[in-house]
Chains A and B, each alone.
Chain A
Amino acid sequence: MSVTTAFTANEGRTYSSAPAPGFRLGSSGLVALSWLVPVLLLITWEVLARYGWIEPHLLPAPSKVALTAYKLTVSGTLLHDLAVSLLRAAIGFAIGGGIGFALGTLVGFSRIAEAVIDRSVQMVRAIPFLAVLPLVIVWLGVGEGQKIFLVALGVAFPIYVNTTLGIRQVDPKLIELGRVQGLSTWELITRIILPGALPSILTGVRFSLATAWLALVVAETIGAQAGLGFLALDAREFLRTDVIVLTVIIYALIGVVADSLARLLERRLLQWHPNYGAVR
């Protein structure tokens, strides 16, 4: 106590956990503050639209968009189109992810496979994958094939690159340990190399979710008979900006949900990892 007093007297400071003088916010206060601007913007938007400062057919009021969302949900249109879009994304993701993972594993393990495959893949990867869209339309038309192909293309590369990288980065000392313990090749792969590569692979998954989504948005704006993109396209014909804004918001929401799911997956699968797992 006397030490503290001496300190305080000499240095003019106290080393206690009490808040320093001045304005202090707790963490919940900061969260609330971070929401303040978006909410204010939303209110401003609503007010401007209500009082006709913004043309309603250019940008409808948020309340109008919400109402549209409600109506379309009740009629079942929205859910149907959402399901169609999600299915496309899922199929494209499975195909592209599968191919990326298979090739990445092959190249990660074998120098020969690397020599055969890697250069070509890297060359194709240099092309922004959306640039091949016109070509894809010529090949596959504007049906489901074109959309799934584009998603798969966008997904395959991040998964490929990160799988290869992950496998290469596995600690050689651990692989050596596997040999000392007499592991079979299969055990070596499943118990040491793939788990060691998993953090990198999951990073690839998160990247590829973003590209998958982008690919879908672009692919769906061209000749779709159903899906979120079709909903937006159809709305454009009738100048239904409320529907267009709604689809944009839904695209955003699904992007956020997909990212959270990927993070959740990381936390589950990497609970052993110091950077992810909670301390027990």
Chain B
Amino acid sequence: MTVQPRASAFQNNAVVVSHLRRAYGTRTVIDHLNLVIGQGEFVVLLGESGCGKTTLLRALAGLDPVQGGTIEVPGRPAVVFQEHRLLPWETLWRNVTLGLHVPDARARAADALGEVGLGDRLDDWPRNLSGGQAQRVALARALVQAPKLLLLDEPFAALDALTRLRMHGLVKDLVARHQPGVLLVTHDVDEALRLGNRILVMRHGVIAAEHRLRPDHDSAGVRAELLRELGVTSSH
């Protein structure tokens, strides 16, 4: 009778990370990090610059080798980067279905682009898009894969404040509909409070603090705590 804890831990989770170690050469950036993200759970990762957020996300995406521990992800995670990374030589619908091997690719792309409000731009080129529109296409490209885990590395950082607010609403809706587990990396505490079910603060390569947000949570209180944990003293 062999118990397989990994397989069982896997059941309703988008990702299970245990004792992850990631080093660049001799410099360890992530050390013994544990993290579980459930299906449909929206987790936001905060942390000062250079603490290893992108490193963690890239490891979860399978882009970099890890030096210890395990990462278990059901299927292939989808990633949205800070830059849209659209292929300039492909039309929008071809971009959205990149890597998608289904016979009705164009129809799926039409649906996905429709969801992000660009349903009439299927045959347009990426160069004709604004920054916000391009990032919406990148979002459509991630979601059309029906990922169990969606990784977002500061996807709104390059957008103007107004567009960013609109994107928050859009992402929230899309995640509610498709129910992937989400890991969002951001520097914006308000963004974290608006989007997350759970907020993690990373420091020195491990998760240093964790906040579960209930719908009735005290925003101002959590915000003050987060800022303190991030080493920002809020004097006003």
Within 8 A of B (CB), among A140-175: 173-174
Cα distance, A182 to B73, chains bound together (Å): 14
A279 within 8 A of B: yes
Q: Assess the B63–A179 pair: CB atoms within 8 A.
A: yes
Q: Which of A174, A181, A272, A273 contacts B99 (CB 8 A)?
A: A181
- Min CB distance B230 to A, Å, is 28
Of the four ranges (under 10, 10 to 19, 20 to 34, 35 or more), the interface on chain B belongs to 20 to 34
Stretch at the interface among A81-89, A118-126, A189-197, A214-222: A189-197
Flag whether B89 is at the interface (Cβ < 8 A): yes
B228 at the interface (CB under 8 A from A): no
Q: Is B233 an interface residue (CB 8 A)?
A: no
**Dominant secondary structure at the A interface:** helix
Residue pair A180, B79 in contact (C-beta under 8 Å) = yes
Main secondary structure of the interface of B (DSSP, over half): loop
Beta-carbon contact of B127 and A272 below 8 Å: yes
Give a binary string over B89-108; 1 marks a CB under 8 Å from any A CB, 0 the rest: 11000000011100000000
How far apart are B26's CB and chain A's nearest CB, in angstroms?
24
Q: A181-B99, A182-B99 are in contact. Are A191 and B128 (CB under 8 A)?
A: no
CB distance from A178 to the nearest CB of B (A): 8
Distance of B160 from chain A, by nearest CB (Å): 22
Q: By CB atoms of chain A within 10 A, which of B78, B81, B85, B89 has the most?
A: B89
Report Cα–Cα, A195/B98, bound state, in Å.
Answer: 14
Instruction: Kindly state the separation between the CA atoms of A221 and B98 in the bound complex, as whole angstroms.
Output: 52
Is B90 in contact with A187, judged by CB distance below 8 angstroms?
no
Given the complex, which residues of B lie within 8 Å of A180, measured CB to CB?
61, 63, 78-79
The reply to whether B87 and A280 contact each other, CB–CB distance below 8 Å, is no
Asked if B63 and A198 make an inter-chain contact with CB atoms under 8 angstroms apart, the answer reads: no
A183, CB-defined interface residue at 8 Å: yes
- Asked whether any CB of chain B lies closer than 8 Å to the CB of A277, the reply is yes
Q: CA of A277 to CA of B127 in the docked complex: distance in angstroms?
A: 10
CB distance from A185 to the nearest CB of B (A): 13
* Cβ–Cβ < 8 Å partners of B89 in chain A: 195-196, 198, 270, 272-273
List the A side residues contacting B87 at CB < 8 Å.
174, 177, 191-192, 195
Q: Are A272 and B85 in contact (CB under 8 A)?
A: no
Decide yes or no whether B88 CB sits under 8 A from chain A. yes
Give Cα A236–Cα B145 distance, bound, in whole angstroms.
70
Do A173 and B81 touch across chains, with their CB atoms under 8 A apart? yes
A55 at the interface (CB under 8 A from B): no
Task: Give the residue of B63, B124, B125, B128 whose beta carbon is less than 8 angstroms from that of A176.
Answer: B63
* Least CB separation from B124: chain A residue: A280
Within 8 Å of chain B (Cβ to Cβ): is A274?
Answer: yes
Which residues of the other chain, A, contact B100 by a CB distance below 8 angstroms? 181
- Bound together, the chains give a CA A272 to CA B91 distance in angstroms of 8
Q: A177–B125 Cα gap in the complex (Å)?
A: 18
Q: Does B76 have its Cβ within 8 Å of any Cβ on chain A?
A: yes
B91 nearest CB neighbor, chain A only: A272
Q: State the A residues within 8 Å of B (CB).
A: 173-174, 176-183, 187, 191-192, 195-196, 198, 270-274, 277, 279-280
B contact set with A: CB distance below 8 Å: 61, 63, 76, 78-79, 81, 83, 85, 87-90, 98-100, 124-128, 141, 145
17 sample A-B contacts, Cβ–Cβ < 8 Å, listed by A number: A173-B83, A173-B85, A177-B98, A178-B98, A178-B99, A180-B61, A180-B78, A180-B79, A181-B99, A181-B100, A181-B141, A181-B145, A183-B98, A196-B89, A271-B125, A273-B89, A277-B127
Which 7 pairs across A and B sit closest by C-beta, in order of nearness?
Answer: A181-B99, A195-B89, A177-B85, A272-B89, A182-B99, A180-B79, A181-B98
